[in-house]
Amino acid sequence: MINVELFHSLEAEKICFKPLSMNHVNAIHSYASDKEVSRFIGWNLMSSIDETRQYVKTMLERESAGTHLYASVAIKSTGEIIGTAMLFNFDKVANQAEIGYVFHRDHWGKGYGSECVAMICNFAFETLKLHKLHASVADANIGSARILIKNGFELEGRLKDNYYVDGKYYDALQLGKIQ
């Protein structure tokens, strides 16, 4: 059984996780409605607060069903919600899962992404005892790829023209980390 409460209580030097909540809809909407942020994350651009509210509800339902883990990422010193962290696509036979994260653009380049990925990796390997984590990143999403590589992920492959965003094709970089 996945320890959801422990995932929601993870902390690092600058950030901490909080349980995803309907109270976080406005904060989530501030980055989920930003075209530059949502461009490569696999979420549709949220055009209204109601759309974001419905998506948060869907995420909470997925977590309740045990198929996904979500956490709101907050700055420890202020409590401000600046992103979302996730583990999903659990493969119980192969003992692996996919990692994901998204941050408000105002908080890019401050080390929060690296701390977030490190916390997820530690939880996945130490608590869940997973064998492998993987991520798929558009090749144009250089910042996200750097965060993963900094945290020990290795490039395992490239899927040509896998993403179609804003009328343009992008390769998918397949990255993985084995315990």
Looking at the 3D structure of the chain, how many domains does it have? 1
Tens digit of each residue's pLDDT, the chain (179 residues): 578 999 999 999 999 999 999 999 999 999 999 888 887 776 778 889 999 999 999 999 999 998 999 999 999 999 999 999 999 999 999 999 999 999 999 999 999 999 999 999 999 999 999 999 999 999 999 999 999 999 999 999 999 999 988 889 999 999 999 98
Domain of residue 93, residue span = 4-133+142-152
Dist. CA 74–CA 83, nearest whole Å = 7
pTM of the entire structure? Answer: 0.93
Q: Is residue 79 part of a domain?
A: yes
φ, ψ for residue 14, nearest 5 deg? -105, -25
Q: Is residue 178 part of a domain?
A: no
Q: Is residue 107 part of a domain?
A: yes
Q: Is residue 128 part of a domain?
A: yes
Q: Is residue 29 part of a domain?
A: yes
Q: Is residue 162 part of a domain?
A: no
Q: Is residue 102 part of a domain?
A: yes
Give the burial class of 30: count Cβ atoms within 10 A of its Cβ; 0-12 exposed, 13-18 middle, 19 or more buried.
middle
Q: Is residue 170 part of a domain?
A: no
Are 5 and 18 within 8 A, CB to CB? Answer: no
Q: What CATH number is attached to the domain comprising 96?
A: 3.40.630.30
